[in-house]
Amino acid sequence: APRLQRSVSRDAVAQDVRFALRLARASPLVTAIIVLTIALGIGANTAIFSIVDAVLLRPLPFPHGEELVSLWATNPDKSITRFGVSYADFEDWQARTRSYRGMALYAPSLTSLNGPGGPESVASLNVSSNFLSVVGLRPEVGRFFGADDARGESSNSVVLTYGYWQRRFGGRRSVIGERYSLNGRLRTVIGVLPRDADLLGPALSGAPLDAITVAEFTTYPRIELHAQHLFGALARLAPGVTLAQARAELYGTEVALATEHPDIAGWTASVFRFSDDLSVSSRQPLLLLLGASGVLLLIACINVANLLVVRGALRGRELALRGALGATRTRLVRQLVIESIVLGVAGGGLGAAGAAAALGAIRRLIPPGAIARSSDIGMQPAVLAFALFATVATAVLFGAWPAVRNADVCIVVAG
């Protein structure tokens, strides 16, 4: 009996779906208006969520990326929480803190490389020799900086980014060991970063990154001064240390340094998740856009619900006849809800397809380096799941109230 009941229930639902499809074909104009309205709301929300997912929600593509943090100096009036770090402060941070199992410095620069096709400008990152190991990267080919590269003035090694390796050298593995002039200095290519590391450029320098070299700290002017804020700093939290603990320790350390060195009196330090620094300039605009698109979807649902109420009123005789013939309130509500779901699925599918097409154009319009991980924007599994959830939620939202209202009216009329 239970099996027979489930079979009858499935047949009834299938019958309702077929009837909903016939009804949709019978009223093409109303159907088109409803589907396009839903598609606009779903498409806008899906496209914007895809950007939010890529830029704000997706975890870092590095081992234990949640441990990576950015270290910054904070000026005395606290108006700039992400101020450059001095080399002298950095050395004291390393010596006096225990919350970090690795700290590294970096400084972006624009230089020139005389490669196979002649000289060209390249965006480079000058780093402490342990920078790549702190981030947790493994080379795509070749190796990274070692003990011989610890002092930048004695290092002639250069590591290429994956994107630059593909673009300028055609992805040749034989580039390892070749020598090129970088800013007038002959350097040997020792390795290539993995593809995922290409996000470091937009995050750290605001532009696509081409090459990484070991910094020659002795060449920086007045490097010994605590007030010479020239660098950015990354660190990896020690096991079991929370962000709050690490932040408190570094803050206390910098306060102590500021009392010891009058040239940085009043300065403190700030610690942020590196993932937060990736999106510090785009987080608020993206969240505002997502909120605005949610309002747009809500307006679309209200408009569609009103259309369904009007259409239900025009179908009053048909629904009243069903009620008079014995259709229960539950049966009528189910029929009307299924009609809404059919329209919602059609609108959601069309909206998702439109979002996929729009995202390709959005990726091309975003200037290189303007948004970290903009190349990851697309119809990823999380985005497809969001589109499916939005479609179902929308269908229920715009379909439930008209279905109950129209069913109640028709039951009263039939009675």
pLDDT for res 254:
96
Q: Dihedral angle at the C-alpha atoms of 240, 245, 250, 251, nearest 10 degrees?
A: 180
Between these two residues, 292 and 7, which has the higher pLDDT value? 292
Average pLDDT, the chain: 84
CA distance 214 to 353: 46
List the single range of 222-231, 330-339, 403-412 with lowest mean pLDDT.
Answer: 403-412
Main-chain dihedrals φ then ψ at residue 139, nearest 5 degrees: -70, 145
pLDDT for res 404:
58
DSSP state of 265: T
Residue of 212, 204, 210, 200 whose CA lies nearest to 375: 200
Residue 201: count of CB within 10 angstroms of its CB: 23
Q: Are 231 and 85 in contact (CB under 8 A)?
A: yes
Per-residue CA distances from 41 to 299, 307, 308 (Å): 9, 16, 17
What's the start-to-end Cα distance of the chain, in Å?
32
pLDDT-above-70 percentage for the chain: 85
Main-chain dihedrals φ then ψ at residue 179, nearest 5 degrees: -120, 135
**pLDDT tens, 185-241?**
899 999 999 998 988 888 888 788 999 999 999 889 899 999 999 999 999 999 999
Contacts with 122 (C-beta within 8 Å, 6 or more apart), sequence order: 110, 111, 112, 113, 164, 182, 210, 211
Between these two residues, 278 and 324, which has the higher pLDDT value? 278
- 2-24 burial, b at 16+ Cβ within 10 Å, e below that, comes to eeeeeeeeeeeeeebeeebeebb
Q: Is pLDDT above 60 for 351?
A: yes
3-state secondary structure of 139: coil
Average pLDDT over residues 99-106: 96
pLDDT for res 315:
56
CA distance 234 to 128: 10
**pLDDT tens, 367-386?**
766 777 777 788 888 898 98
